């Protein structure tokens, strides 16, 4: 990746800070009362997997993971995405 301007570096830094926060204990503590520790752990594990595999994850795949595999309610998943502003995690989550 070639940086075309200083702004790109700042955006990358902010993005990495956001990802670091999502993987932190602070993030888990903030949201676990509303969504459960297990719910948050699923999100954190999927973010780590995306980074490890160097492959982004689709929002629809996350929704399926939560609703089909873990039997969470779709409205709870969508509420979580809205609360954490899932768009902040682009391009890892798209």
- DSSP E strands: which ranges in the chain? none
Contact 42, 70 (CB under 8 A): yes
Contact 83, 34 (CB under 8 A): yes
Q: How confident is the model at residue 19 (pLDDT cuts 50, 70, 90)?
A: very high
pLDDT digits (tens, 9 = 90+) for 38-91: 999 999 999 999 999 999 999 999 999 999 999 999 999 999 999 999 999 988
Q: How confident is the model at residue 6 (pLDDT cuts 50, 70, 90)?
A: low
Q: How confident is the model at residue 1 (pLDDT cuts 50, 70, 90)?
A: very low
What is the largest distance, in Å, between two alpha-carbon atoms of the chain? 44
Question: Residue 32 above 70 pLDDT?
Answer: yes
């Amino acid at each position: 990746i070639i940086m075309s301007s200083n702004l790109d570096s700042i955006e990358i830094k902010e993005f990495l800070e956001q990802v670091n926060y999502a993987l932190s204990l602070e993030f888990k503590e903030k949201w676990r009362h509303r969504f459960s520790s297990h719910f948050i752990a699923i999100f954190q594990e999927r973010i780590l997997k995306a980074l490890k595999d160097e492959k982004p994850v689709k929002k629809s795949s996350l929704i399926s993971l939560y609703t089909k595999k873990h039997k969470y309610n779709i409205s709870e998943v969508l509420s979580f995405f809205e609360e954490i502003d899932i768009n902040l995690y682009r391009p890892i989550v798209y």
